[in-house]
């Protein structure tokens, strides 16, 4: 056997050994993450013009070494917590981070690390291509995230071969958390009296049909197990309370609930068309609303005010070194004006992982990956 062929064979063998070892530890071979800031682990750090960033203190103050990684949290976020429940240490690294650290798609380290998954999520993004640019200048929209996954899929196929790659992807978890920014941007345009704005019911229909296209694209690329996280009770976040008299914004909560119902229907329709697709739809609205309505039951004492910020409900200015920071972060449901603390994210992840039908349908996340 030629020297070059021997080296190539040893390199491929090493990849397969690493993958086999990983499979023995985790419930799924890999996790691929898509969506917005609820699951972003630093994608936007690599977008110089983006206004949706969290790579500065006080973000990350409770992360290992108090490092602001780009997560919109005081520590770990929902993607990390879900990944940990599946046997991983945390969420896989962001697509841009892997490229930046390894140098290229063809780098051996890049190819080795993508076998455990990749995080493509981008803070500020939404289901629609237009979402995010009005508020944040530059984000990676969901359609582009799926295109990035297509590149990763090509690399996995090159490493494992077509048959093994297809099997690996079919057993992997595709975690998607998106939609909130589409509703926030719609709210902004309503306040501007935009005459071309669709009615709320029409908006939900547009989001649903577009979302179905994105999910079908992932299916066509090899995804089979979908963990879909719906929109939480966004009308009850500190930002929304600050707009009114401190009560939850009913209109925004109604939109979030309507989105969940529409997503439930589209997933039922989609799985009737593609028989191999399995999904768990997490009712994050129900989970978050329970925690916010009765924080004491979950060990929280503050559910209306953000831990980091300034102004009304500590939600009228950014979370940064000029902000007012709460010392007792475990007591707070919300970290900043929108995002949960790492403790709240942990509780939500547990509920969707092994909770009942009121938290996830038709099965929970742990049941989703059972063969």
Active site residues: 37, 336, 339
The token pair at 218 is 């992932």
6 token code pair = 């021997």
Residues paired with residue 332 on neighbouring β-strands, in sequence order? 302
How many other β-carbons are positioned within 10 Å of the β-carbon of residue 235? 26
Report the alpha-carbon distance of residue 280 to residue 299 in Å, rounded. 27
Residue position matching structure tokens 């941007």: 185
Residue with tokens 């209109």: 251
Which residue shows structure tokens 């993508």? Answer: 114
Tell me how far CA of residue 273 lies from CA of 121, 125, 153, in angstroms: 27, 28, 23
| 65: its two tokens | 């070494």
- The rounded distance, in Å, linking the Cα atoms of 174 and 147 is 14
Detail the DSSP E strand segments found in the chain.
Answer: 31-35, 117-119, 173-177, 225-229, 278-282, 308-309, 324-325, 360-361
Report the phi/psi class of residue 334: left, alpha or beta, with left for phi > 0 and alpha for psi in -120 to 50: beta
Residue count of the chain: 371
């Amino acid at each position: 056997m030629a020297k070059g062929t021997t080296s190539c064979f040893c390199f491929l063998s090493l990849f397969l050994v690493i993958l086999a070892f990983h499979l023995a530890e985790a419930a799924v071979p890999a996790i691929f993450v898509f969506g917005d800031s609820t699951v972003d682990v630093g994608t936007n750090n690599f977008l110089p013009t983006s206004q949706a960033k969290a790579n500065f203190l006080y973000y990350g103050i409770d992360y290992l070494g108090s490092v602001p990684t780009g997560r919109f949290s005081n520590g770990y976020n929902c993607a990390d917590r879900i990944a940990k429940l599946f046997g991983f240490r945390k969420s896989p690294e962001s697509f841009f981070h892997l490229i930046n650290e390894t140098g290229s798609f063809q780098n051996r380290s890049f190819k080795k690390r993508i076998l455990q998954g990749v995080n493509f999520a981008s803070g500020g993004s939404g289901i629609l291509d237009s979402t995010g640019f009005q508020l944040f200048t530059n984000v990676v929209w969901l359609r582009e995230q799926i295109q990035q996954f297509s590149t990763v899929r090509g690399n996995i196929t090159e490493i494992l071969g077509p048959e093994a790659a297809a099997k690996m992807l079919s057993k992997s978890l595709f975690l998607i958390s998106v939609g909130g920014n589409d509703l926030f941007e719609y709210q902004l345009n309503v306040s501007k009296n935009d005459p071309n704005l669709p009615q709320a019911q029409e908006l939900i229909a547009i989001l649903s049909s577009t979302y179905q296209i994105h999910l079908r694209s992932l299916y066509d690329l090899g995804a089979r197990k979908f963990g879909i996280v719906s929109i939480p009770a966004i009308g009850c976040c500190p930002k929304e309370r600050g707009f009114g008299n401190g009560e939850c914004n009913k209109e925004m909560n109604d939109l979030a609930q309507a989105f969940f119902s529409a997503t439930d229907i589209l997933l039922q329709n989609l799985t009737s068309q593609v028989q191999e697709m399995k999904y768990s739809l997490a009712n994050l609205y129900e989970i978050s609303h329970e925690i916010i309505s009765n924080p004491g039951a979950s060990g929280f004492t503050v559910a209306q005010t953000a831990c980091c910020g300034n102004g009304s409900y500590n939600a009228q200015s950014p979370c940064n070194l000029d902000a007012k920071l709460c010392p007792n972060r475990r007591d707070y449901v919300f970290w900043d004006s929108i995002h949960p603390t790492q403790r709240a994210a942990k509780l939500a992840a547990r509920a969707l992982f092994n909770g009942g039908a009121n938290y996830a349908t038709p099965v929970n996340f742990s049941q989703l990956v059972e063969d």
